[in-house]
Structure 1
Amino acid sequence: MRLLISLIVAFAPWFAEAQIKYVESVPRVAQSGYYRIALSQEMIGVASTHDFGGIRLIDQRGKAVPFFVDRRMEAQPQQHYSDLQPIALRTDSIASYAVVENTQAIEVMVVQIKSAVASGLHVRIRGSHQATGPWFLVTSQSVSPSSHRHFNADDAVIEVRFPQGNYRFYEVMLTNDQKQPVEIWSVKVPKPMAVPKTDWVLLPFGRHAQIDSLNHKSYLNFPDLKNQYAVAKITFEIASPQHYWRRGYVSNQEFVLSSKVGASVFFERLVLDKGKDLVVENEQSTPLQMVGIKVFGKAVYLCAYISVDDQINIVLDPESKSKPNYDIVHFQNDIPLALPQLTATAFELVPADVVVSTTRWFEKPVFIWVCIIGVGVFLLWICLQIARDLKKNTK
């Protein structure tokens, strides 16, 4: 009996290991196609610990559904350019000229030229309200082609900055040391870059408690917090008639509260649960009175092809760091950004054998190990009986 108990104790950690998983449901779809699936903030909170490793999409047959974490909307926007309408392009024995029409206030021009071995490039830009002049000097400067910017394989690109102006017409003159003109192909201006919109989500942190300690620190916590969350922004509502500047920290990450720049602080990777405090250093100043604290997370999306008949769960093994490498990952840029969006629901903690329901009962690891232990105990009992009989026969 003692041996059996010892074996059970020895294998108990194995039974407990990886037997719990986080699960949430994906709504059924009316049409097959690619979808963007918004994870719940609770799932994001536990999945972000390992950068979303261990997440899988499992259908009703227990089969994995290929997906990727869709971060395309978070990418830095690429600069785009529009061509100014050419009115005239000409050259003489030493210089190239381009006259272009403009309809907006500009302060940057990008001149595209034919790639050539030319040194000592100099550009002069003049502006006018009429195509025939008079012309007024805008800038005159030495320039060099950009080493990293090209619009095709055979060009060179020159960026020219100058005081903002809104002339209807601009004349660009380009010269160089070789006394041979370089061909101007086009004159462009940058388009305003669309800054990606951050999808802030208010997290259910509830009320906060503030303790102003004798060690000149204020400790802030959230007694109603029930889950773990990935925090991207915290906004403090501070009641202070005077200017303030305080340094704070949370989970080894520092932040600054300042009446000059506002009371919102941003974080790249911060995971908070009920056991972690926000700490504000007061030094010799009076503690700030926090009237309210709002905590925000960012939306995180998965992208997958979902069929009409699919009934999909999102499953996370919290101990796993592995990331799948499905074929779909290599075709991210071919999938449109504008996709129908689904929102995962019913986040819960469940036993692992409930998640994988397609495994037959006699194939489950728990049953197999019970059989192994049982057989081992039975064989040991037989050996003990044989040893006892031999001992009796020798007397």
Structure 2
Amino acid sequence: MNMPEFPLLSILIWLPMLGAAAVGLVRNLQAAKWSALSVAGLELAVALAAAGRFQAESGNELQWVEHHAWIERLNINYFLGADGISILLLPLSALLTLLTLLATWNSVQRLPRFHLSLLLALEGVTMGVFTAMDMILFFLFWELTLVPIFFLIGLWGIGPGRREAAMKYTLVMLFGGVALLFAIILLAFNHADTIQGHIPGDLSFSLPMLSATPLSGRTETAVFILLMLGFAVKAPLPPFHTWLPTVAMEGSTQMTALLTGLKLGVYGIIRFAMPLAPASAVEYNWALGIIGAVTLIYGALVAMQQSNLRRLLAYGSISHIGLVIVGLSSLNIQGIQGALFQLVNFSIEGSALMLIAGFIHHRLGSNEKVHMGGLATAVPG
């Protein structure tokens, strides 16, 4: 059985989806917990197997490709693939989900089976974001992440404004989604116009095909700005960053740990914004560098002023995003490799620190500096 024939990426997407449905139907709570943990563990094993069998010497060539017709009239396909960027993020996402499940093992008392199902569903659609090579399929998975996140923040948040935080996050992400959708439409129409084809028969949403289709100056600039706007919201970059500290204070620390670690917005910049509009990326790399530097310094300075551990970590994560953007703006192999390394590195560290903040809050009832003296007594070794 060779790689193209084995639906490994579909397994990564649909295994947690099916697991979410199964966990929701299990009536016994302990059985539901162990079922969810088993699914998350199996997902991590599959993701690690994919990473282990990835052929790094093939360069940027897509591997584990799956291509099936979906909406033929519009040339929208079920098109999946993994390269050297996404293959790093698949086991990382699976690991973060597994750690989150373990961190909430005994702390979630309200609707625990629903909580487990939403975590698994979020894992499945996140895998779809990292592997979708059709822009419409990518956009579908991108928007589907909003549903479980909305409920995970609104139902299991620890702050009095958790529902408002969930609504704020959703509305901000929908704003970014509109920009992404306009960029995708521009790219598809540009492809049909370039080949002098007809609409809708000659539209294309395939990422490899769109990357090979030239864009005129104004169109490329518009696509680059729209894509950067959509992904900056999710990253987050100022001035769209305010949702992260809000979610950190009002939502559960486990949900904040996931949002801190997944870095979907930065992945979108690397995977879509820069390859689809390379000339604009080169032309405006100075702007990316300035935005990254401002984000880096601003996030660090604001983090230093915080008295709450969760807010401090949220602004620290924003500062880290600025460092990654600075690396990407260099447009050389060392800068991009360093940005990816830092992205994976801080995703693990930042999520782990946020989970630790959650453990402290569970023991003390607070993450405020004034209440965190004498932790050796409240949290014995």
Please indicate, yes or no, whether the TM-score normalized by the shorter chain is above 0.5. Answer: no
Q: Which has the higher strand share?
A: 1
Q: Compare CA radii of gyration and give the structure with the larger one.
A: 1
TM-score by length of 1: 0.15
Larger RCO, structure (CA 8 Å, separation 6 or more): 1
TM-score by length of 2: 0.16
